[in-house]
Amino acid sequence: MIEVHVKKRLGGFDLDADFAAPPGVIALFGKSGSGKTSVINAVAGLMRPEAGRIEIDGTLLFDRTRRIDVPVHRRRIGYVFQDARLFPHMSVAKNLAYGGSHERDRVIEMLGLSELLDRRPAALSGGEKQRVAIGRALMSHPRLLLMDEPLSALDAARKAEILPWLERLRDEAGLPILYVSHAASEVARLATTVVVMEAGRVGRVGAVAEVLSDPAAVGMIGAQEAGAVVRARIAGLDRIDGLTELALSGGRIVLPGRLGGIGTHLRLRISAQDVILAREKPEGLSALNILPAEVTALDEGPEGVAVGLACGADRLLARVTRRSARALRLEPGLRLWAIVKASAVAPDDVGGAA
Ligand SMILES: Nc1ncnc2c1ncn2[C@@H]1O[C@H](COP(=O)(O)OP(=O)(O)OP(=O)(O)O)[C@@H](O)[C@H]1O
């Protein structure tokens, strides 16, 4: 368990963040300037809070009232920055050894680094550099990994390449990861817990599927970025048309592309903008993805109405204009049909299941 409470005045900005989260990837998510980096700097010991308490898996790193403030080098925290910050004159093997040698072979295997060991950083792609930086941090035997927008310097292709490695890290490394991001798709794919920061405070904290499907969180996340996360199992493959059929708890949907083998469990982000609502079951529609759903909650914001939906055991999120909300007479408890645009799910929105 990680417990963080940090209070500090930074110029005109008041940081007062308080959250607790179980192990896994804890995504610190929020708009630019909401205080994400300040929180992780406090956890790393790079910034001293005026008040608060930081505890990781039973170890107290900071407690103002008890005058505990473990120095940076004793905190055992691995830090991965936006840019990998490798030593350019050293081979990958030497860069890794600089971190330490904790579980060296396992880390090399887990991050697929064995082919890279003799290379210098200049001969690595951006994604490979980040894998080495993560490996170096892990070999220092940290109790927590801090990752501050580790993908933001990478282009889309490199991001897609490294995301499965990060999923593996989450599922196999067995240490908590505090992951700063302002990209909803990354958070949806990787996070176990989401902490939404808003103006220096924690606006919302909870399990990823719960927070990302909450209409009340749309204002903090941003209307364009909002979207729910569902779990799905590959139920069928149409090799001729290149389609994958996915079983969700509330029905089946078909997506373009080969997303894996039959039986594979996936985590899928469905953007709120890509869900259309209908009171009657649509007929003769080109979209194949029509799911029965029930309205659970509504949240009206300046850009329209966010609609929370229960679809089997999963939660979906839709965004409609105020006019549509009136025309559909949306209210909690209403049963309707959610149509998911089949072509809309981006490859980056499909990830491993944990
Ligand atoms: N040392 C400081 N002195 C004064 N103001 C500061 C200091 N550090 C941070 N701030 C201010 O605190 C606010 C939060 O900054 P922070 O970098 O934590 O946000 P962030 O959510 O990580 O933003 P971004 O996504 O842009 O990196 C900003 O308004 C910033 O200008």
CA of 222 to the centre of ligand 1 (A): 19
Would you mind telling me the total number of residues written for the chain in this entry?
354
Whether 347 has a pLDDT exceeding 60, the answer reads no
Q: What is the pLDDT of residues 186-201, one digit of tens each?
A: 898 899 999 999 999 9
Q: Is the CB of 150 under 6 A from ligand 1?
A: no
Q: Is the CB of 72 under 6 A from ligand 1?
A: no
> Can you read off the two tokens belonging to residue 252?
């089946």
Q: How far apart are CA 250 and CA 240, in angstroms?
A: 26
Residue whose CA lies nearest to ligand 1 atom number 6: 10
CA of 180 to the centre of ligand 1 (A): 13
Q: How far apart are CA 293 and CA 311, in angstroms?
A: 5
Atom of ligand 1 nearest to the CA of 11: 4
Region 295-307: mean pLDDT is 92
Residue-by-residue DSSP string for 34-83: SSHHHHHHHHHTSS--SEEEEEETTEEEEETTTTEE--GGGS-EEEE-SS
Q: How far apart are CA 259 and CA 246, in angstroms?
A: 9
Q: Is the CB of 176 under 6 A from ligand 1?
A: no
Residue whose CA lies nearest to ligand 1 atom number 26: 32
Whether 342 has a pLDDT exceeding 80, the answer reads no
Half-sphere exposure of 51 (CA within 13 A, CB side): 7
| Ligand 1 pocket mutation, candidates 10, 149, 195, criterion most atoms within 8 A of CB | 10
* Predicted TM-score (pTM) above 0.95: no
Atom of ligand 1 nearest to the CA of 30: 21
Question: What was the pLDDT predicted at 354?
Answer: 64
Q: What is the pLDDT of residues 307-338, one digit of tens each?
A: 999 999 999 999 999 999 999 999 999 999 99
CA of 297 to the centre of ligand 1 (A): 33
Return the closest-CA partner of residue 277 out of 226, 319, 248: 319
**Contact between 162 and 154 (Cβ < 8 Å):** yes
CA of 37 to the centre of ligand 1 (A): 7
Q: How far apart are CA 215 and CA 160, in angstroms?
A: 28
Residue-by-residue DSSP string for 228-260: EEEEEEEEEEETTTTEEEEEETTEEEEEES--S
> Can you read off the two tokens belonging to residue 169?
């890290």
Written as one letter, the residue type at 9 is: R
Q: What is the pLDDT of residues 271-291, one digit of tens each?
A: 999 999 999 988 876 657 899
Residue whose CA lies nearest to ligand 1 atom number 10: 10
Give me the domains of the chain, ranges plus CATH numbers.
2-212 (3.40.50.300), 227-352 (2.40.50.100)
Percent of the chain scoring above 90 in pLDDT: 64
**Helical (H) or strand (E) element with 323:** helix 322-327
**Contact between 80 and 152 (Cβ < 8 Å):** no
Q: Is the CB of 8 under 6 A from ligand 1?
A: no
Atom of ligand 1 nearest to the CA of 197: 21
Estimate the share of the chain in helix, then strand, then coil, as percent rounded to the nearest 5. 30, 40, 35
